[in-house]
Amino acid sequence: MKVHFYKYQGAGNDFIIFDNRNNTISLSEKQINQLCDRKFGIGADGIMLLEDHPSHDFYMKYFNSDGKESTMCGNGGRCLVEFARSLGILEKETGFMAVDGLHRAIVNKNKTISLQMKDVNDIRIVNTNYYLNTGSPHYVIFREDIKDIDVFKRGREIRYSAEFDPDGTNVNFVEFQGDKIVVRTYERGVENETLSCGTGVTASAICASLYSKSKKSSYDIITTGGKLNVSFKKQDKNNFTDVWLTGPAEFVFKGEIDI
């Protein structure tokens, strides 16, 4: 079957998107893995299906490049909002469902998109570092030398360590740079460092507030793929509400492919 696909990227985190409102597209793990392959397929960190939802604008179904349906993807969520806008589903604001629940989003005048993330109320210390869930599980480590870290090697070791059996975790290395933070992320399911990770920078910003004991309610974040912003309301050390991830979401190209 020949289908249309759309390629989008948000801060270098790239995705293949299918409009599946007619519910005709069903992909196997092998097909997803092949489509995401950068040498033998289209190439992407993940695949998203935009599907109908009975009470909200749409449903976001997300798969990592390993072929498995996955947890929430922040950069992907922004890209799917921009795709939905291009289809005429929304103009400036939307509410959509994902695996972790309802998300609101706003299309800003500067063409960035602000995506409301889930509230965070469970932050644990594991081996002196932070562990939390921002729609996906994240381990956050603060360092002063992240440019020199072998993110693939160290991230993979932690991702598969016994502490996080059986599902594993994403791993973020974070460094303060003035009033900003720099983040590098090893993504579970991609099984490599990605240019950015939306749920990862969200987790990193929240942990930066705790680590620095700051009263800041917003952090600008530098990733290899671009700049993002995370804002929140800090209720107490384990309770963050009104969490928003803001950043770019850009159309790259479209095409047809046999699946």
Q: Active-site residue 73, yes or no?
A: yes
Separation between Cα atoms, residue 139 and residue 2, nearest integer Å: 40
Cβ pair 30, 40 in contact under 8 A: no
Backbone phi, psi, residue 27, to 5°: -115, 135
Residue of 243, 245, 244, 226 whose CA lies nearest to 10: 226
- Terminal-residue alpha carbon distance, the chain: 5
Torsion of CA 209, 205, 152, 193, to 10 degrees: 180
The residue from 36, 79, 197, 207 that is catalytic is: 197
Dihedral, CA of residue 162, residue 166, residue 167 and residue 170, to nearest 10:
0
To 5 degrees, how large is the angle CA 189–CA 96–CA 99?
35
The answer to whether 32 and 63 have CB atoms below 8 angstroms apart is yes
What is the C-alpha R_g of the chain? Answer: 17
> Is 207 a residue of the active site?
no
Active-site residue identified among 36, 73, 79, 207: 73
Measured CA to CA in angstroms, residue 85 lies from 20, 22, 91, 234 at distances of: 15, 18, 6, 31
d(CA 242, CA 139): 21
- List active site positions: 73, 197
